[in-house]
Amino acid sequence: MVGWSRAVRTALVAAVLLTLAGCGKKEVKSGSAPPTTPVRVRAVERRSFNDYFNLIGTARADREATLVFEVGGAVERILADQGASVREGDRIAKLNDDLYAAALREAEAARDLAADLHDRSAALRPEGAISDYELSSLERQREMAEARYGTAKAQHDRTVLRAPFAGIVDTRFLDVGDFAGPATPFARFLDLRSVRIRVPLPEIYLAKIRPGDRAEVFADPYPGRVFEGEVVFVSREVDRGTRTVTVEVVVSNEDAALRPGMTLRARLVKDVYEGAIVVPQDAVVETEEGSAVFLASAGAALRRMVKIGAVYGQMAVVESGLAEGDSLIVVGNRELVEGERIEVLP
């Protein structure tokens, strides 16, 4: 009985060992291909490429003025209120002119009297009834009366405030009944058919910008809209503190979308590259050795060191390391290593 039990135990232990040995074996399929990384490629081409300055400035009206009366008086009428568009010479407001009108009538009468007295005396000169001296004195009196009339008329005319140029009446500071003294601001007046922006340009780029250059201008309230502008002035003086020069750009604004005081971004061409090799920035990876890209070659990833030049937006100029026609990996390149098997997706 004891011998049988020992034999059974031996057989059981042997069976367990065989089972464990069988479980430890891993089945390997013969002839299986190594894994591949899916990528997308783009043929390297030559094209033109523009590098830009992006400069920020504040808009102001191309022409603007603070309207003032040149004589004093109470505001009698508002002829063009805030927001009104007027032409050059249109009437905007009028002062009470009672005193100025009376002074004008008095000066007119004095002028007419002096002229009549002079003419009557001149008719008597051939008869010797008046001396040359007396006639000359009357001539001077007539001229002074004419001058006083001109002054009175000019003061009367200045009781009407007129537009100095075509534009829009903006903020008004006085109401009907308010007293306007000479040089008292009445309203702001703007010509918004174009606006100007002044932007600082680093002095090292001074030779790259000149009057007449085209500019593209952007404003946050109008995403996606490009306003056309032109460089009209480049300062001759460099700011000693910031080492910049002032560049002034005039921007077309026929619909008055741009407003004075608005922050604008001006984009000006810095350099133009003709026939350059330009690649997406995402295709470039940074390594300890420098910038590199991956090319698709015979089903494998081939790393190529490159020299990057100008960069703008999402594109970069490759100065060396790539040739036209190379199959550049543009998607799936971030984790690639040299020689890794790849699958090019359509």
Instruction: Inform me whether the pLDDT recorded for 13 exceeds 80.
Output: no
Based on the fold, state whether residues 138 and 278 are members of the same structural domain: no
Cα–Cα nearest to 82, from 192, 171, 161, 164: 171
Instruction: Kindly report, residue by residue over 255-278, the tens digit of the pLDDT.
Output: 999 999 999 999 999 999 999 999
Instruction: Kindly report, residue by residue over 58-92, the tens digit of the pLDDT.
Output: 999 999 999 999 999 999 999 999 999 999 999 99
The Cα–Cα gap between 66 and 185 comes to 6
Based on the fold, state whether residues 109 and 252 are members of the same structural domain: no
Instruction: Kindly report, residue by residue over 41-53, the tens digit of the pLDDT.
Output: 999 999 999 999 8
Of 272, 298, 315, which one is at a domain's C-terminal end? 272
Instruction: Inform me whether the pLDDT recorded for 2 exceeds 50.
Output: no
Cα–Cα nearest to 166, from 254, 236, 85, 251: 85
User: Between vectors from CA 221 to CA 217 and to CA 225, what angle results, nearest 5°?
Assistant: 45
154-167 average pLDDT score = 95
Instruction: Kindly report, residue by residue over 88-141, the tens digit of the pLDDT.
Output: 999 999 999 999 999 999 999 999 998 888 877 777 766 766 777 777 888 898
Give the per-residue pLDDT at 30: 46
Give the per-residue pLDDT at 125: 67
Helix axes 132-157 and 98-124, enclosed angle (nearest 10): 160
Give the other-Cβ count within 10 Å of 19's Cβ: 10
Collapse the DSSP code of 109 into the 3-class scheme (helix H, G, I; strand E, B; otherwise coil) and give the result. Answer: helix
Give 82-87's long-range contacts (Cβ < 8 A, gap of 24+): 82/169, 82/170, 82/171, 82/172, 82/187, 83/168, 83/169, 83/170, 84/168, 84/169, 85/166, 85/167, 85/168, 86/163, 86/166, 86/167, 86/168, 86/169, 87/163, 87/166
Whether 77 maps to a domain, the answer reads no
Reported as a pLDDT band with limits 50, 70 and 90, residue 15 is very low
20, containing H or E segment: helix 2-23
Based on the fold, state whether residues 57 and 198 are members of the same structural domain: yes
Whether 185 maps to a domain, the answer reads no
142-147 average pLDDT score = 91
* Domain range enclosing 334: 38-50+274-344
Reported as a pLDDT band with limits 50, 70 and 90, residue 242 is very high
Whether 1 maps to a domain, the answer reads no
Q: Which two tokens stand for residue 306?
A: 């490159």
Residues 6+ apart with CB under 8 A from 133: none
Whether 184 maps to a domain, the answer reads no
Give the per-residue pLDDT at 136: 80
Give 298-306's long-range contacts (Cβ < 8 A, gap of 24+): 299/36, 299/341, 299/342, 299/343, 300/339, 300/340, 300/341, 300/342, 301/37, 301/39, 301/329, 301/333, 301/336, 301/337, 301/338, 301/339, 301/340, 301/341, 301/342, 302/338, 302/339, 303/336, 303/337, 303/338
Q: Which two tokens stand for residue 185?
A: 């601001």
Residues 6+ apart with CB under 8 A from 313: none
Collapse the DSSP code of 255 into the 3-class scheme (helix H, G, I; strand E, B; otherwise coil) and give the result. Answer: coil
113, containing H or E segment: helix 98-124
Based on the fold, state whether residues 265 and 295 are members of the same structural domain: no
For the domain that residue 308 is a member of, what is the CATH number? 2.40.420.20
For the domain that residue 141 is a member of, what is the CATH number? 1.10.287
Of 246, 272, 298, which one is at a domain's C-terminal end? 272
Handedness of CA 228, 234, 235, 241 (dihedral sign): positive
Collapse the DSSP code of 29 into the 3-class scheme (helix H, G, I; strand E, B; otherwise coil) and give the result. Answer: coil
Eight-state DSSP code of residue 341: B
Whether 287 maps to a domain, the answer reads yes
Instruction: Inform me whether the pLDDT recorded for 200 exceeds 50.
Output: yes
Give the per-residue pLDDT at 124: 73
Instruction: Inform me whether the pLDDT recorded for 23 exceeds 70.
Output: no
Based on the fold, state whether residues 58 and 207 are members of the same structural domain: yes
Reported as a pLDDT band with limits 50, 70 and 90, residue 14 is very low
Give the largest Cα separation in the chain, rounded. Answer: 184
Task: Work out the percent of the chain whose per-residue pLDDT is above 90.
Answer: 75
Reported as a pLDDT band with limits 50, 70 and 90, residue 33 is low
Based on the fold, state whether residues 199 and 268 are members of the same structural domain: yes
Based on the fold, state whether residues 104 and 135 are members of the same structural domain: yes
Of 244, 272, 300, which one is at a domain's C-terminal end? 272
CA distances 339 to 35, 38, 44, 150, 288, Å, are 13, 14, 20, 96, 18
Domain count, the chain: 3
